[in-house]
Structure 1
Amino acid sequence: MSLKPEKLPWSTRLTTVLFDLDDTLFDHIATARASLRASAAPLPFFQTVDFEPFYQLYSELLEEYHAQLMAGRYTYDEARRLRFERLLAPYWPDASAADVDDFVRANQLHYPLMRQPVAGALALLQALKPHYCIGIVTNNRTAEQEEKLAFLGMTDLVDALITSEEVGLPKPDPRIFEVALQRLGARPEETVLVGDNWRADVLGALAVGIRPVWVNRLGAARPLAHVAEITSFEPLEDALTVIAPAASGGRRA
């Protein structure tokens, strides 16, 4: 699979907007930080821990095991158990298997209670919905992502949810984007994809001829200058200018 992007002559007529979900519309970072802090707070070792390196290790392990999960090396339960075991090992070396299991259960309890949208995401979808087809393309389980959309009040704003579980391949594989286009009756040159992951979202979109908008909330360096970048969905008008410029047409009948 080639992921060599080139600047493409996208149509000025936009009909379809695709979004990633986690850390694009749903604020996984804020949710994960709050859940991790709440889960570890009662434990003695946490009283002297610098939270930032603790969270950074968590984030790195999540990326590592999510990739292996997408490759089919582990089940969801196995991947979750292994990453928390490795997270706790440097901080709580004498933790028993039961201790790790308790921590996993605590995090599973806290995480859904602390979910939150990315600021401005709901208003953005509400503004786009009357004019464009809206799809979600996400590397995760269908039921989990459906539940997130319902929690965020976004279900009725989305015309199609396409998941890696359903398609059998994760972003940036072209097939998952092709399924999204087919489901929405869209052409690549009339489509934009808004996402936070440079490889999965930006390079994946470029590889199939979709215009990407990179959600760069953390202020990372932009590898390709011609790719549109957005750091926030607020103010709404500024976000709409980047995602759906005034020169674009309306939604197809």
Structure 2
Amino acid sequence: MVTNGTRAQQSRKMRFTGLDNLVDGIVISESAGAKKPEPEIFRQALEYRADNSTVWMVGANADADIRGAQKLGLSTGWVSHEKSWEGTDSPTIIQPTTVRVLEEIHLGR
């Protein structure tokens, strides 16, 4: 998981939601010394996996989340909130909610 923010803030969110138990690793911008969409934060996340094809970036921010991850060739799931994608290089998956993106990833898109 890649997230911008402070260690305290984001760690609290991860524990509260239970996401900390569902991901292989969490890269927080404050600890990483870089923030989305900077390539370095995504590179640090890749250290948790040897194969980039198993790494997904799911997010609602087209620039920070999706385009930042695309620069490193990662699969992306854009939470569109019913908006249309603008520009080229569409995300791998576009769905209106996080749950729908994760369902599609789980189904093996």
TM surpasses 0.5: yes
- Which aligned pairs between 1:19-38 and structure 2 lie closer than 5 A? none
- The answer to whether structure 1 residue 212 and structure 2 residue 51 are counterparts is no
Identify the structure with the greater helix proportion.
Answer: 1
Counterparts of 1:225 and 1:170, CA distance in 2: 21
SS where residue 27 of structure 2 aligns? Answer: strand
Give deviations 1:139-181, integer Å, cap 9, x for gaps: 1111111111111233222321101101111111110000001
Give deviations 1:12-35, integer Å, cap 9, x for gaps: xxxxxxxxxxxxxxxxxxxxxxxx
The equivalent of 2:108 in structure 1 is 246
Counterparts of 2:69 and 2:46, CA distance in 1: 11
Of 142-151 and 225-234, more deviation after overlay is shown by: 225-234
Letter of the 1:144 partner, please give it: Q
Return the TM-score normalized by structure 1.
0.39
The equivalent of 1:175 in structure 2 is 40
Counterparts of 1:142 and 1:205, CA distance in 2: 21
Work out the number of aligned pairs and report it.
Answer: 107
Paired-residue identity, %: 31
SS where residue 160 of structure 1 aligns? Answer: coil
Identify the structure with the greater strand proportion.
Answer: 2
Q: Of the candidates 232, 236, 239, which is equivalent to residue 97 of structure 2?
A: 232
- Post-superposition offset of 1:233: 4.2
- Classify 1:195/1:168 alpha carbon distance in 2 versus 1 (closer, same or farther; 3 Å): same
By relative contact order (CA 8 Å, sep 6+), the higher-ranking structure is: 1
SS where residue 103 of structure 2 aligns? Answer: helix
Give deviations 1:62-96, integer Å, cap 9, x for gaps: xxxxxxxxxxxxxxxxxxxxxxxxxxxxxxxxxxx
Structure 2: 5+ residue stretches without partners: none
SS where residue 222 of structure 1 aligns? Answer: coil
The equivalent of 1:187 in structure 2 is 51
SS where residue 176 of structure 1 aligns? Answer: helix
- Classify 1:233/1:169 alpha carbon distance in 2 versus 1 (closer, same or farther; 3 Å): closer
Larger Rg: 1
CA contact 2:49–2:55 (8 Å) conserved in 1: no
Counterparts of 1:148 and 1:159, CA distance in 2: 16
